[in-house]
């Protein structure tokens, strides 16, 4: 079957592209740049997700489209991220419909759900990221889903997947390691003497890739599917990564209550030095740490994530094999 992936050179895109090739599909990789690590059988098409005519041409003969392009940012406002994450979705969806694509799978995010107003639990019926005080990424991911639903109403068959905190191999770091993978690499190097209390639902990038293909096969039109992993304390994850290389993990963790108290002071200071590590947007997920319910994906799609310890050990092995430690 001929399939296409937008954002194929990215972190999730690379893993999905390789999986689709392994499954025997003819893959069209659409991105602004090619990637050296793609299998030779992949056809690269340079494309702009805001160019409907160009996208329609790129999708000629494609049966299933996976739309992964998004701009991740911790900023409160960013016009480029907003346009790419909203208009980009609408443009690609309309191009898919014009090209006769049978099904589109949109990779949204758990951030399209309001993690600050969820009563400690998120499922597919939870409140969405509509508040003006939320980071632009959160708001734009929800707005992108709204844009997609407009095209679904026009006749497009599409499904929406919402991964949680994505990490694990393979991460070729074309635009820098993902935030989670970077933290775990530092821990594996023995460079994290202390951490912050709190955790999140972390999901292996390979499981997300498989979940997207399951959604293409079994998902119901217009439905959301949370692709979860397992709740994981960040300190515990760091210790597993450090232990895998024979190093010590963090000696202690700063309580979340302390972090919340110092954020109003620490955030502007860090921003002066060009860092967003101590921003509310960066810390928000850890501080809220909601339980994310992946029952729907498990029951309807047959989705089943691997153990967190396996992911972390595989990630460290990947770093060792690629001389990143």
Domains assigned to the chain: 2-166+203-229+293-305 (3.40.50.720)
User: Is 60 exceeded by the pLDDT of residue 266?
Assistant: no
pLDDT (tens digit, 9 = 90+) per residue, 11-33?
999 999 999 999 999 999 999 98
| 3-class SS of residue 2 | strand
19 C-beta neighbours (distance < 10 Å), count: 16
| Residues 212, 213, 218, 221, Cα dihedral to 10° | 50
Q: With contact defined as beta carbons under 8 Å apart, do 53 and 3 qualify?
A: no
* pTM for this predicted structure: 0.93
Dihedral over Cα of 153, 159, 165, 167: its sign: negative
Treating both helix axes as pointing N-terminal to C-terminal, what angle do 234-244 and 179-188 enclose, rounded to 10 degrees? 50
From the list 315, 178, 197, 303, the residue with the least C-alpha distance to 245 is 315
**Cβ–Cβ under 8 Å, residues 116 and 122:** no
Residue 245: what pLDDT?
95
* pLDDT tens digit sequence for 200-214: 999 999 999 999 999
137 is catalytic: yes
pLDDT for 285 beyond 90: no
Average pLDDT value over all residues in the chain: 91
Position 164 pLDDT exceeds 90:
yes
Return the pLDDT at 278. 52
Mean pLDDT of 175-186: 87
DSSP 235: H
Q: Which residue has the tokens 């059988």?
A: 41
Full DSSP string of 92-136: HHHHHHHHT-SEEEEE--GGGB-TTSSTTEE-TTSPBS--TTS-H
Question: Which one from 66, 137, 225, 303 is the annotated catalytic residue?
Answer: 137
Q: Which of 62, 29, 66 is nearest to 209 (CA)?
A: 66
Peptide bond into 170 cis (omega under 30): yes
Distances (CA, A) of 49 to 70, 98, 291: 10, 14, 33
pLDDT the model gives residue 263 = 59
Q: Which two tokens stand for residue 175?
A: 């635009």
């Amino acid at each position: 079957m001929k399939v296409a992936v937008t954002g194929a050179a990215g972190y999730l895109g690379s893993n999905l592209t390789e999986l689709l090739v392994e499954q025997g599909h003819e893959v069209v990789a659409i991105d602004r740049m090619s990637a050296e690590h793609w299998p030779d059988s992949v056809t690269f098409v340079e494309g702009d997700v805001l160019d409907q005519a160009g996208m329609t041409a790129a999708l000629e003969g494609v049966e299933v489209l996976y739309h992964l392009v998004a701009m991740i940012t911790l900023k409160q406002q960013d016009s480029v991220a907003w346009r790419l994450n909203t208009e980009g979705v609408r443009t690609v969806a309309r191009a898919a419909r014009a090209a006769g694509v049978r099904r589109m799978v949109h990779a949204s995010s758990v951030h399209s759900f309001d993690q600050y107003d969820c009563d400690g639990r998120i499922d597919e019926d939870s409140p969405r990221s509509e508040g003006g005080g939320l980071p632009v990424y959160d708001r734009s991911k929800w707005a992108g889903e709204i844009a997609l639903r407009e095209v679904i109403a026009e006749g497009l068959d599409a499904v929406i997947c919402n991964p949680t905190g994505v990490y694990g191999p393979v991460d070729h770091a074309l635009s820098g390691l993902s935030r989670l993978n970077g933290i775990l690499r530092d821990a594996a190097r023995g460079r994290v003497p202390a951490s912050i209390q709190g955790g999140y639902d972390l999901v292996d990038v390979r499981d997300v890739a498989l979940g997207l293909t399951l959604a293409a096969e079994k998902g119901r039109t217009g439905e959301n599917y949370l692709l979860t992993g397992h709740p994981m304390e960040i300190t515990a994850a760091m210790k597993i990564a450090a232990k895998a290389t024979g190093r010590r993990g963090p000696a202690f963790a700063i309580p979340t209550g302390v972090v919340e108290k110092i954020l109003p002071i620490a955030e502007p200071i860090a921003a002066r030095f060009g860092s967003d590590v101590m921003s509310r947007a960066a810390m928000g997920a850890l501080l809220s740490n909601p339980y994310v319910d992946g029952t729907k994906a498990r029951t309807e799609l047959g989705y089943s994530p691997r153990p967190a310890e396996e992911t972390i050990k595989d990630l460290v092995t990947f770093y060792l094999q690629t001389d990143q430690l």
